């Protein structure tokens, strides 16, 4: 409701459904169970294109021609190498704290790179410099995350290879092993499907910071902070932990009903936008089924158990919360797929981050074209202040 003589407008909690700007990067159509990058279905791109092709789309606004693929991949490969200014301190970053926090380490490492390379404020930099900084951050992020993990685990970091794709490099740098084609294909589809997803909390955070004219790394670091929350990107491992807690098919109903009765959220179900099944979850469920065909007995059991939990949770939620439209989301099957591909649980959310950083950077560059700072207001509900004394 607008207030006379003021510009205050009441909006829903969490800005739900509020349009705050325009974008050419993509959109999420929650009632249809569909989302797209530019004019292309994101899921179709994940099924038919490489991660590098879709990255090119976010950078240049179109899919690459055949002759453009190799030069773009070569440019990314050159930028993947761990920066020299980071190498002397990477061990200290990785070993900080009693609990390994790869996203905190990534924020620190990127901030150091930004400071060492004097990344200029977006407000003062040319579009070509912004684009170069964005490509560097997107390319080096997976290398940093994988190196932090391996150092913390007591192993040496694995240098990226120029002849491998982003997905293949990620698996190799994290696990230290040559990845099989099925795992590479699965992770590549996951990475493509999670590059961007509308104005979620981390993307909006990145754009708010970018609107202030700050440097690109500051905006990415803010996005990482928002993404680390368990209500946002930090949920794939928690969804798999729920499967561990349930333990067996006969405990599904009692566990789910107990959680709902206690008012707890069931990780991996429900979404802020979708009123259908998350299309990313649908694709990941298919990928899990494909991986199960080549998995050992333990992997096959995991996929079958996840499917059983999916069916029962959906049914119980429909029974106990009619009309809420609480369906499976991307986190539920993401954890299953990543575990089948050999990625440790502590690296589930970092895997998500390795792709989403490309989307953050694209949003930051788009926001940098707008000179208006994002500056909402809050409605004050504290103790009543004294009335101002009119001036004489």
Straight-line distance from the first to the last Cα atom of the chain, in angstroms, rounded to the nearest whole number? 34
Fold match flag (38-228+352-368 vs 236-340): no
Locate tokens 């490969």: which residue? 77
Whole-Å CA distances, 43 to 40, 337, 365, 386: 9, 16, 24, 57
Superfamily in which the 38-228+352-368 domain is placed by CATH? Citrate Synthase, domain 1 (1.10.580.10)
CA dist., res. 204 & res. 25, Å (int): 13
In tens digits, what is the pLDDT along the chain, a chain of 392 residues? Answer: 444 345 678 888 888 888 889 999 999 998 898 999 999 999 999 999 999 999 999 999 999 999 999 999 999 999 999 999 999 999 999 999 999 999 999 999 999 999 999 999 999 899 999 999 999 999 999 999 999 999 999 999 999 999 999 999 999 999 999 999 999 999 999 999 999 999 999 999 999 999 999 999 999 999 999 999 887 876 667 788 889 999 999 999 999 999 889 988 887 787 778 778 889 999 999 999 999 988 899 999 999 999 999 999 888 888 888 877 778 888 889 999 999 999 999 999 999 999 999 999 999 999 999 999 999 988 889 999 998 887 76
The secondary structure of residue 382, as a DSSP letter, is S
Helix, strand, or coil (residue 79): helix
Angle between helices 252-261 and 297-320 (to 10 degrees): 40
Facing residues of 131 across strands?
none
What's the DSSP call for residue 40? E
391 to 5, 240, 386, 388: CA distances (angstroms): 20, 64, 15, 9
SS3 321: coil
φ/ψ (deg, to 5) at 150: -70, -35
User: What are the extents of the domains in the chain?
Assistant: 38-228+352-368, 236-340
Helical H segments across 158-251, by residue range: 166-175, 181-193, 201-211, 216-227, 236-246
* 259 and 326 Cβ atoms separated by less than 8 Å: no
Instruction: Using alpha carbons, select from 232, 203, 233 the residue that is nearest to residue 220.
Output: 203
Catalytic residues: 271, 331
Of 222, 212, 183, 207, the C-alpha closest to 351 is 183
Class level of CATH domain 236-340: mainly alpha
């Amino acid at each position: 409701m607008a207030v006379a003589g003021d510009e205050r407008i009441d909006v829903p909690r969490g800005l739900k459904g509020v349009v705050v700007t325009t974008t050419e990067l993509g959109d999420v159509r929650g009632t249809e169970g569909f989302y797209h990058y530019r004019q292309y279905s994101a899921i179709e791109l994940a099924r038919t294109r490489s991660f590098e092709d879709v990255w090119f789309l976010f950078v240049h606004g179109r899919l690459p021609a055949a002759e453009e693929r190799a030069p773009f991949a070569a440019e990314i490969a050159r930028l993947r190498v761990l920066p020299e200014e980071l190498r002397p301190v990477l061990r200290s970053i990785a070993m900080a704290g009693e609990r390994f926090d790869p996203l905190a380490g990534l924020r620190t490492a990127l901030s150091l790179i930004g400071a060492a390379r004097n990344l200029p404020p977006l407000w003062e930099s040319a579009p070509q410099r912004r684009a170069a900084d964005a490509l560097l951050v997107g390319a080096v992020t997976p290398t940093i995350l994988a190196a932090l993990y391996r150092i913390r685990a007591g192993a040496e970091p694995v240098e990226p290879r120029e002849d491998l794709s982003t997905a293949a490099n990620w698996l190799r740098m994290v696990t230290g092993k040559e990845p099989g084609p099925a795992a590479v294909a699965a992770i590549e589809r996951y990475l493509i499907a999670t590059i961007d997803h509308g104005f979620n909390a981390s993307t909006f955070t990145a754009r708010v910071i970018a609107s202030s004219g700050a440097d690109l790394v500051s905006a990415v670091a803010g996005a990482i902070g928002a993404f680390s929350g368990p209500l946002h990107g930090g949920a794939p491992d928690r969804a798999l932990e729920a499967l561990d807690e349930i333990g067996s098919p006969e405990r599904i109903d009692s566990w789910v009903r107990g959680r709902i009765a206690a008012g707890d959220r069931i990780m991996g179900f429900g979404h802020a936008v979708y009123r259908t099944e998350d299309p990313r979850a649908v694709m990941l469920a298919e990928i899990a089924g494909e991986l199960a065909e080549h998995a050992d007995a333990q992997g096959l059991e995991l996929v079958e158990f996840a499917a059983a939990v999916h069916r029962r949770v959906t049914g119980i939620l429909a029974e106990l919360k009619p009309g809420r439209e609480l369906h499976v989301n991307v986190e539920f099957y993401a954890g299953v797929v990543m575990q089948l591909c050999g990625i440790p649980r502590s690296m589930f959310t970092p895997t998500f981050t390795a792709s989403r950083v490309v989307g953050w950077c694209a949003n930051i560059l788009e926001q940098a074209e707008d000179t208006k700072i994002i500056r909402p207001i809050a409605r004050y509900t504290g103790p009543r202040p004294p009335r101002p004394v009119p001036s004489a």
